[in-house]
Amino acid sequence: MRKRGAGTLVAEEKINRSVELTSLHDDLVAAGRAPTTKVLRNGVTHASQRVTSALRLPERALVICIERLRMADGEPIALVRNYLPRALLYLSTEMPEQHGLYELLQASGIRLASATQRISYDENGRAVEFAQH
C-alpha cells in the first residue's frame, strides 16, 4: 500500500497452512506413481560421529541402518540411507519394502511432530531418524 509522504508500506499478512510429514513412498502414491522399494542393506552398526551427533546419541551407539533403492513406475529415483536408534523399533527387510518408513514408525507408536531436511523428531523432541538421500 502506498501512503503519500511515507513511501510504500508492506502490510504484514499471516499465512496459515497445514504441513504434514510424509515419506517419499506416500508422496509417490499421492502423485499417482507406483512406488517400489528394494532393501539393499538392513542391519545394526555402530554409528559414525555424524550420525550420533544428528540423533543426539552417545558416541558409537548402535543404530539400525537401512539402505533402500526407491523406484517409481519401475524407474530408480533415489538411493536412501536411514539411521534409527537401535532400541527404537524392529524392522524386517520386508517391512520397508512394503511400507513407507513414516508409516512403520507410526505403527510402532512413534508420532512424528517435526523434521529438518535430514532429521525427524517425535512429539517429545527425540531425534528418531537421520536420512541421507
Distances (CA, A) of 11 to 15, 43, 48, 56, 77: 12, 53, 48, 41, 42
Q: Tell me how many domains the chain contains.
A: 1
Q: Residues of the chain with pLDDT > 90: what percent?
A: 45
2, β-bridge pairs? 8
Decide if pLDDT at 14 tops 90.
Answer: no
The enclosing domain of 28 has a CATH number of: 3.40.1410.10
pLDDT given for residue 42 in this prediction: 95
Q: Is 85 within the bounds of a domain?
A: yes
Q: Is 68 within the bounds of a domain?
A: yes
- The residue range of the domain holding 52 is 17-132
Q: Is 1 within the bounds of a domain?
A: no
State pTM to two decimals. 0.74
Task: Spell out the residues 6+ positions from residue 61 whose beta carbon is closer than 8 angstroms to its own.
Answer: 46, 47, 52, 55, 85, 86
Tell me the per-residue pLDDT of 38-93, one tens digit each, with 9 for 90 and over: 999 999 999 999 999 999 999 999 999 999 999 999 999 889 899 999 999 999 99
Q: Is 115 within the bounds of a domain?
A: yes
Q: Is 8 within the bounds of a domain?
A: no
Q: Is 62 within the bounds of a domain?
A: yes
pLDDT given for residue 20 in this prediction: 65
Q: Is 53 within the bounds of a domain?
A: yes
Q: Is 63 within the bounds of a domain?
A: yes
